[in-house]
Structures are given as structure tokens and as C-alpha cells.
Amino acid sequence: MQPDDPATADLVSLLSLTREDADLFRGICHAGAPLRAFGGQVAAQALTAAGHTLDAGRSPNSLHGYFLRAGDPRDPIAYRVERLHDGGTYAHRRVTATQHGEAIFTMSASFKRPEEGYDRHVRMPSAPPPERLTDPLDDPGPHPDYADFPGWGVISMRFAPPAEGPSTRGQTEQLVWIRATQPLPDERLLHICALAYASDLSLASTAALDLQEPLPIRTATPRVRIVSLDHAMWFHRAFRADDWLLFATRSRTAGDGRGLATGEFFTRDGRLVASVTQEALLRPIAPPRKP
């Protein structure tokens, strides 16, 4: 079992699982908010479990997950894998994460063997290189709670300043450089699961940038409650999660207590390697009444 204290763990250990039988795995997830398991780690561990039921020749090409209940970071989570299909190129798995006898997360994932073919992608947006941006751990600036999130020891982030000039009306957006803080082994599944972990750090907050300061997780006096509802990712090309990736996120709609955000990951040389979409619960928090 991986250590349950992320302050003393590395990213590999945070994604590691104990295998109890061929299709049952168990892991510990740290908190993303008080007494709530971090959703990115739950999704990454579920994908890790699914990947361990396949041969090394297949890698994830997509995942679709739903957060059903808040996981308890104090207790283990069980991941049961169902082997739905194994074809010549594609394979499909369903994973149910349970805790205290109840499902807290479900995920369907697709895996495939690599193949050659037509290739194109959109151009990477312009952003200052990460070396010119400040680490919020050194200078919090508009991100004072950066150090409060337990996972910051394994992920580095550099927030680009907001773009000058008018944006698309009704759209919020932000650019963040992201990478694992330590070198990772040469295992493609691990790098993909590491990106799944990191993808939940700033995506939902993009949908609430016009409601509060653009903090990755929370503020001391938040104006809106943000909870991930679902999470979908597509992995387009090979990458390393321990190299800097530009995470370009935007939200085009929020309403009915929900916000939708999408994001794209680019390598430093401009290759689009992954896309992600997430819907999050957005509920304003009333300020405390004055005595």
C-alpha cells in the first residue's frame, strides 16, 4: 500500500495500488478538500487498476468517469475492474470504486494498440515559458493556498498571467504549465495516469474564474463551492508527465448550479497530447452574517 501522507510520498507511490486478486485493487487517496478524497487521484488510481488488467502493448486512449460520492481520505478505496472487451486493437474496461460499501466513482476506459495514420492538431496558444513564471510556493501572489493542497509536493504548476485585451464574450480561460516534480519511470501507463491526476487541479476552477480569484483548489473565504461531477479525457499522442506541459483551459458556459470546462495539454514544442472535459457543481456561498 502506498503511504497515506502525500507530504512524504512521490507521485509513483500516490498512484500505486495493492492487488488483491486479478480484478480487485485497493488504494489510499489523500484529501483534495477537508475530508474529501482528491478526485484526480481517484480517477488516476481507477485508470491504473484498469491498465493492470491489460498487456503492456495497449495504452489508454480515453476515459469517462462520474464522481458519485465524496471519498473519505482516511480509509482505503476498492477498485473492481470489469473486462468488457478485448479486440485486436481496442480493449474496454469498467471500474467501480467503492468505499464503506457504496460506489463513490465509476469509470469506463478504452485502451488501444498504436497505429500509424493521418495526423493533425490545433496550434498551441501563446504563453510565457515556465522558467519566466513564479512558483506559487515561492511567491503565492493570487494563489495563497497553493501550499495547502497535499498534492503540491508531487506536481509543479506555473500560472500564466491573464491575457490582455478582450476575450470571447461569456468565456473564462487560463493557461497553466504543469509537470511532475520528480522524474518518472519510462512507463507510458504511469505518465498517462499522472496526467489524469494533474488534470483535476485547475480545470473546475476555470468555470468559476468570474466568481472568485483563480485559485487551483480553494480560498480561505471562497465565494463559490466547486465539486467535480464528471471527468472525461482523451489521450492523442505520447508524452512525458515529468516534462512541462501547457494546460490551456476554458469554460464557455455556467448555469443551473453547474459549470463546464474543457482543456488541452501541449508539449513545449507545440504538440497536442491530451484533451479533457469536466462538469463541476458551482454553488455560491453566502458570506457569514455579521454579529
Positions marked active-site? 200, 228, 278
C-alpha separations of 50 from 12, 107, 140, 193 in Å: 16, 9, 37, 11
Q: Is-contact 191 240, C-beta < 8 A? A: yes
Whether the CB-CB separation of 18 and 80 falls below 8 Å is answered with no
CB burial of residue 85 (10 Å; 0-12, 13-18, 19+): exposed
DSSP-derived letter for residue 286 is: P
Cell numbers for 239: 508524452
The pairing of beta strand 155-159 with beta strand 59-67: unpaired
Quick one: DSSP state of residue 183?
A: -
CA distance 145 to 267: 27
Backbone φ and ψ for 21, nearest 5 degrees, come out as -155, -170
Closest by Cα among 184, 235, 220 to 63? 235
